[in-house]
Chains A and B, each alone.
Chain A
Amino acid sequence: MSSNSLLELQGLQKHYPVGGGLFTPLVGVVRAVDGVSFAIGEGETLGLVGESGCGKSTLGRLVLRLEHPTAGHALFRGRDIFRLQGLELKGFRRQVQMIFQDPQSSLDPRMTVGDSVGEALLIHGMQVGKERGERVEELFLKVGLEREHIHRYPHEFSGGQKQRVGIARALATSPRLLVADEPVSALDLSIQAQILNLMKDLQEDLGLSYLFIAHDLGVIRYVANRVAVMYLGKIVELSRKEEVFSFPLHPYTEALLSAALPPRAGRRRWPRILLGGEVPSPMNPPGGCPFHPRCHRAFAPCPTVVPQATEVDGRLVVCHLWG
Chain B
Amino acid sequence: MASEVILEVRDLRASFFTIRGEVKAVDGVSFDLARGETLCLVGESGCGKTATALAVLGLIQGLGGRILGGQARYRGEDLLTAPASRLRGLRGRALAMIFQDPQSCLNPVLTVGAQIMEPLRLHLRLSARQARARAVSLLQQVGIPLPERRLQDYPHQFSGGMKQRAMIAAALSCGPEVLVADEPTTALDVTTKAQILDLLKRLRQEREMSLIFISHDLGAVAELGGRVVVMYGGRMAETGDLEQVLRRPCHPYTVALLACIPDLGGDGRLKTIPGQPPSLIDPPQSCLLSPRCPYALPVCRRHRPELAEVAPGQQVACFLYPQVLARVV
Contact = CB atoms under 8 A, between A and B. Distances in A.
B276 interface: yes
Contacts of B191: 51, 255-256, 259, 275
B189 A279 contact: yes
A223 B152 CA distance: 45
Contacts of A308: none
A256 B262 contact: no
Interface in A208-223: 215-219, 221-223
Contacts of B265: 262, 264, 267, 269
B161 interface: yes
A38 interface: no
Contacts of A193: 259-262, 270-273
Interface stretch (A12-20, A65-73, A87-95, A184-192): A184-192
A190 B216 contact: no
Interface string B256-291: 111111111101011111101100000000000000
Contact of B195 (A158, A189, A216, A275): A275
Nearest to B244: A265
A265 B262 contact: no
B189 A52 contact: yes
Interface in B167-197: 189-195, 197
Counting chain B CB atoms within 10 Å of each CB, the highest count among A192, A221, A245, A263 belongs to A263
B222 interface: yes
B320 interface: no
B194 to A, nearest CB: 4
A260 B189 CA distance: 10
30 contacts: A51-B192, A188-B44, A188-B45, A189-B216, A189-B261, A193-B262, A193-B270, A196-B270, A197-B272, A217-B190, A217-B264, A218-B262, A219-B262, A221-B262, A221-B264, A259-B191, A260-B190, A260-B219, A261-B194, A261-B222, A262-B264, A262-B265, A263-B246, A264-B247, A264-B258, A265-B247, A266-B247, A267-B265, A269-B264, A274-B198
A257 interface: yes
Given A256-B190, A261-B194, A279-B189, A190 B222 contact: no
Given A190-B273, A193-B271, A197-B272, A262 B263 contact: yes
Contact of B44 (A190, A215, A262, A272): A190
A194 interface: yes
A196 B242 contact: no
A278 B144 CA distance: 11
Interface string B97-140: 00000000000000000000000000000000000000000000
A160 interface: yes
A215 B191 CA distance: 10
A279 B160 CA distance: 10
Contacts of A217: 190, 264
Ranked nearest first, the 5 interchain pairs of A and B with the lowest CB-CB distance are A261-B219, A222-B262, A190-B273, A51-B189, A193-B260
Given A217-B264, A261-B219, A262-B263, A278 B243 contact: no
Given A158-B276, A189-B257, A278-B161, A259 B262 contact: no
A188 B242 CA distance: 21
Contacts of A245: 264
A191 B256 CA distance: 12
Interface string A252-290: 000111111111111101001011001100000000000
B293 to A, nearest CB: 12
A186 B51 CA distance: 20
Interface of chain B, main secondary structure:
helix
B190 A259 contact: yes
A263 B263 CA distance: 7
B159 interface: yes
Contacts of A267: 265
A192 B260 contact: yes
A57 to B, nearest CB: 14
A192 B269 CA distance: 13
B23 interface: no
Interface string B232-249: 000000000011001100
Given A265-B242, A274-B194, A275-B195, 16 more contacts: A51-B189, A51-B190, A158-B276, A161-B276, A189-B216, A191-B276, A193-B272, A196-B270, A259-B193, A259-B194, A260-B264, A263-B246, A265-B246, A266-B243, A269-B265, A275-B191
A265 B248 CA distance: 10
Interface string A233-266: 0000000000001000000000111111111111
B162 interface: yes
B220 interface: yes
Nearest to A222: B262
B222 A263 contact: yes
Contacts of B267: 222
Counting chain B CB atoms within 10 Å of each CB, the highest count among A161, A245, A256, A265 belongs to A265
Given A193-B271, A194-B272, A261-B194, A188 B258 contact: no
Contacts of A215: 189-190
B218 interface: yes
Contacts of B264: 217-218, 221, 245, 257, 260, 262, 269
Given A190-B44, A193-B260, A196-B262, A264 B273 contact: no
B217 to A, nearest CB: 8
Contacts of A262: 219, 222, 263-265
B4 interface: no
A96 B261 CA distance: 29
Nearest to B256: A190
B270 A188 contact: no
Contacts of A192: 260, 262
B77 interface: no
Nearest to B228: A265
